[in-house]
Amino acid sequence: VSVQSRTSYSLDWETEGSSCDSTGLLHFALPHQVEVMNGATTTQSKGAIVLHSSTRGDMVAQVTTSGSWLLTEDEADEEVDFYPSNKPSADVVSQVNLLPTLQSDINSDWSLDTGSWYYNGKAYQKYASLCLMAADSSVVGDDTTLLRTCLSKLEALVGPFVNNTMSVPLVYETSYKGIVTSQIFTANDVNVEFGNGVYNDHHYHYGYWVTASAILKKLDPSWPGMAQLETMVWTLLRDVVNPSSDDQYFPKFRHFSWYLGHSYSHGVTPMADGKDEESTSEDVNFFYGMKLWGQVSGNKAVEDLGSLMLRLNARTVRTYFLMTSDNTIHPPQFVPNHVTGIFFDNKADYATWFGPEKYCIHGIQMIPVSPINGLARTVTFVKEEWDDILSKEAIVTGGDTTNAWLSLLLVNQAVINQADALTKLATATMDDGLTRSWALYNAASPQPTMYVEAEIGAGGEISVTPR
């Protein structure tokens, strides 16, 4: 792969033989590539050669004498940022009692060292998000007291991370060259920490640390521990998404496939149905954090690469993982599920690794709650998923609000029914990676149109449809 710019990249093949020079390279493009490829042959093109993939729809043959495909990922008008594009107004903040809720969340007991890099990371981003709200004048006015309290607690909490003195420190593993939990060696068990030691889920686990650290660097760039924090974050980024072939300590793009447009969850362990991806939203969260970290670090190359990978990743999520009723990638009898569940190379399994409940299968695609979720979770998708499946589940229709998965579903519901979601979020039990104030803040933010579809009519007129 060659990254051309913030919005374009090319897939390049080395070819041999006179026919490659005279006739060109024949290779098959996936649906998400055909959409954004310069001069692509489509399924509707005369003489198109179509190949059926295992799980990603129809592949279309492309012939190029250059041996390269140029693909573009245009940026939407809304800038990817720490805050929602449309932050809640002061009136809405007052109506949902956001300030006292935020004060309660910040003044509550915080803890980080659970022995799990995944759950610690979720907690770190959860607490960092509180500081974002404490820096929002529409929530706190001109008072900076709450922000100072929040940052003080966050910086004290993250100290063991920057020093790598958590109860289960990270170590460098030399066989596959990466950063893993030391617990795999102390427990002598490859399955601990979701298989982190065998390179499972690093983009999930470390994405929380990168995103939360970007928030901290934005809000308090002169913190005395910042240099050590930067060292840790750059190391985690290199582990997951090192872009350089010259880096002797980490492989290039460990988890991410530029051809498929998304990451793989499984690392070095073989899988009968091929590698897989489950939580698309945590995949998106990593590239969101990467983009933000590049932004606050003043490293435009990293910011641009993060932005490109974020938008490519979101496109593949919309194309293959989150299914609207017009989806033609998957069999018609499977599309009404609206999410694929565990997406393997050779099958899509409407399930999770940890539970059969539908709220789990759908909810795992919603974490963490973040302003970036709308880039992959379009309004059309959210409405169809809610109307067809989630609104009918007992977790939603019943009166019990103690199941923490409900909080995630309600923030998602706010995209299409804000008033109802805000009312229920006031009392619902929160997910372990979510605070009530952050849930209310995001639910109270009007959903922007982050993704649109455009059609050109016979007369040249252009119609734009929000998705």
In a domain, 128, yes or no: yes
The Cα 322–Cα 313 span in angstroms is 12
- Residue 14 shares a structural domain with residue 99: no
Strand partners, 148: none
- Residue 116 shares a structural domain with residue 11: no
Catalytic residue among 136, 277, 282, 385: 282
pLDDT, residue 262, reads 98
In a domain, 458, yes or no: no
In a domain, 461, yes or no: no
- Residue 301 shares a structural domain with residue 394: yes
Confidence of residue 399 (pLDDT cuts 50, 70, 90): confident
Kindly give the pairing relationship between strand 68-72 and strand 8-12. antiparallel
User: What are the residues whose beta carbons fall under 8 Å from the beta carbon of 430, sequence distance 6 or more?
Assistant: 404, 407, 436, 439
Nearest to 433 by CA among 151, 278, 204, 153: 204
Domain range for residue 165? 90-452
Which of 106-110, 191-195, 459-463 bottoms out in mean pLDDT, i.e. has the lowest?
459-463
* 331 cis-preceded (ω within 30 degrees of 0): no
For residues 229-250, give the mean pLDDT.
Answer: 98
In a domain, 44, yes or no: yes
The Cα 449–Cα 441 span in angstroms is 18
296: enclosing H helix or E strand: helix 280-297
The CATH number of residue 137's host domain is 1.50.10
User: What are the residues whose beta carbons fall under 8 Å from the beta carbon of 247, sequence distance 6 or more?
Assistant: 238
Entry pTM:
0.94
- Residue 23 shares a structural domain with residue 132: no
- Residue 27 shares a structural domain with residue 140: no
CA distances from 241 to 113, 119, 202, 235, 250 (A): 25, 21, 10, 10, 9
At position 183, the amino acid (one-letter code) is Q
pLDDT at 455 over 50: no
**14, 20 Cβ separation under 8 angstroms:** no
The Cα 390–Cα 398 span in angstroms is 12
Residue that terminates a domain, selected from 14, 42, 72: 72
In a domain, 459, yes or no: no
- Residue 68 shares a structural domain with residue 95: no
Catalytic residue among 155, 278, 283, 384: 278
The Cα 401–Cα 325 span in angstroms is 30
pLDDT per position as a tens digit, 8-23: 999 999 888 877 777 8
- Residue 296 shares a structural domain with residue 172: yes
For residues 152-175, give the mean pLDDT.
Answer: 97
- Residue 98 shares a structural domain with residue 153: yes
pLDDT, residue 381, reads 98
Residue that terminates a domain, selected from 43, 72, 101: 72
User: Is 278 noted as a catalytic residue in this protein?
Assistant: yes
The Cα 346–Cα 217 span in angstroms is 41
Residue that terminates a domain, selected from 40, 72, 104: 72
In a domain, 79, yes or no: no
**Considering its fold, how many domains does the chain have in total?**
2
The Cα 459–Cα 464 span in angstroms is 15
User: Is 78 noted as a catalytic residue in this protein?
Assistant: no
In a domain, 463, yes or no: no
- Residue 130 shares a structural domain with residue 11: no
The Cα 431–Cα 429 span in angstroms is 7
pLDDT, residue 134, reads 98
- Residue 313 shares a structural domain with residue 426: yes
Catalytic residue among 58, 136, 173, 201: 201
pLDDT per position as a tens digit, 323-348: 999 999 999 999 999 999 999 999 99
User: Is 73 noted as a catalytic residue in this protein?
Assistant: no
Strand partners, 70: 10
SS3 398: coil
- Residue 59 shares a structural domain with residue 169: no
In a domain, 138, yes or no: yes
- Residue 309 shares a structural domain with residue 343: yes
